Every structure is written in C-alpha cells, then in structure tokens.
Amino acid sequence: MQYLIYENRELYVEKEDAEVPWLKIFTKEPYKELTELPEALRKKLWRVYEIIEKEMLSYYKPTKINMASFANMLPRVHIHVMARFKEDSYFPNPMWGEKLRKSSLDLPNEEAFHKKVFEALNREFRN
C-alpha cells in the first residue's frame, strides 16, 4: 500500500509498497523535468532528499542508498529513495532490474522510521 508520510505547502513524501524501505518525494505543483522546478523549490526538494537519506542510513544501516528519477509513463518528476541490502531480492541490480533471489530481509519496524522522517522534515520546514 502507498500512503503519505509527510507534506508541507510545496512538497510531499509517499511510502512505496516494496520489500525494501522506499520513499518517493513529489512537488505539489507538477513539473516534467527537474530543471523546470523554480530554483528555491529544487533546493527544498534536495533538502528533503538529504534528510530522508540520512534517516534511512541511520535507521536501517543499509548496504547502499539508491536514488532515481524516471517518470516515463506519467511525466511528472519525483525522486525515489531506496535503502538497499545485499539480502534483498534484486541486489546489486537496481529495484527495476532482474530479480536474483528470494529476499531474506528482516527489517526493523517501519512505522518508527516513518515517524523519524516526519519529525526531521517537520523540524526543517515548520517555519
């Protein structure tokens, strides 16, 4: 199930339904490409990315963070942030690549992670 983790006036963060921790960052105003975002909004988008990456690293201690922006089917730019683990089904392939094994992941509680992300973003953007 996809659901909302955080939103402010300009940006929101959704959880993607996947075997690995995977969040997606959207601007409320839709844009096709990253360079079409006004500069101030693009900076805020990267700030959201950085906060999520740091929280993922600290909470999950993943093998690697993966990040991507495709939106080929529906051309509305958004950023995928994924925590990857050597035990996940696709590693070292991207999550869009060939599945290599049955996942043996045993991850800590996701709700506590989402709460940390919400709180960190709220601290950053509440003013």
* 46 touching a second copy, by CB under 8 A: yes
Closest CA to 28 of 10, 49, 43: 10
CB nearer to a second copy: give 41 or 68: 68
CB nearer to a second copy: give 34 or 107: 34
CB nearer to a second copy: give 4 or 70: 70
Give me the torsion for CA of 84, 120, 68, 71, rounded to 10°: 130
* 53 touching a second copy, by CB under 8 A: yes
Q: 78 in the Ramachandran plot: left (φ > 0), alpha (ψ -120 to 50) or beta?
A: beta
Scan residues 106-125 and list those touching a second copy (CB under 8 A). Answer: none
- C-beta separation of 61 from 53 below 8 A: no
* 72 touching a second copy, by CB under 8 A: yes
Residues that bind a second copy (CB under 8 A): 32-35, 46, 49-50, 53-54, 57, 63-73, 75, 84, 91-94, 96-97
